[in-house]
Amino acid sequence: SSVYLLANMTEFGKTPYIDIGTFKEYGYNCVIYPVSTLRVAMKAVDLFFKDLQQNGSQKGFVDKMQSRKELYDLLRYTPARSGITPKTNAK
């Protein structure tokens, strides 16, 4: 029977860094990176807070941020236009 091979890759572990193409050659079906995006995000958060502490504003960091358009494009989100949603008394 066929066995499904999954590689669980983490930084700073014992497994050497192997590219996805090589895993494919080895017969792996899937490679996961369970903490990689968190590590990248937290590094950015750390750099942002250091910059904010030093400069007192986010102004110098805006060019490193994802723009509203980039976020909406990633999420495939189209915001509602003003005037087409029902009015509510919600505050």
pLDDT per position as a tens digit, 41-87: 999 999 999 999 999 999 999 999 999 999 999 999 998 876 665 66
pTM of structure:
0.70
Provide the residue type at 24 as one letter: K
- The residues spanned by each domain of the chain are 6-75
> Does the pLDDT at position 1 exceed 60?
no
Residue 46 to residues 3, 33, 39, 53, 71: CA-CA distances in angstroms? Answer: 41, 21, 10, 11, 21
Q: Are residues 31 and 9 in contact, defined by beta-carbon separation less than 8 angstroms?
A: yes
> Does the pLDDT at position 39 exceed 60?
yes
Number of helices and strands in the chain (H, E): 3, 2
3-state DSSP helix/strand/coil percent for the chain, to nearest 5?
A: 45, 5, 50
How would residue 90 be classed by pLDDT, with cut points 50, 70 and 90? low
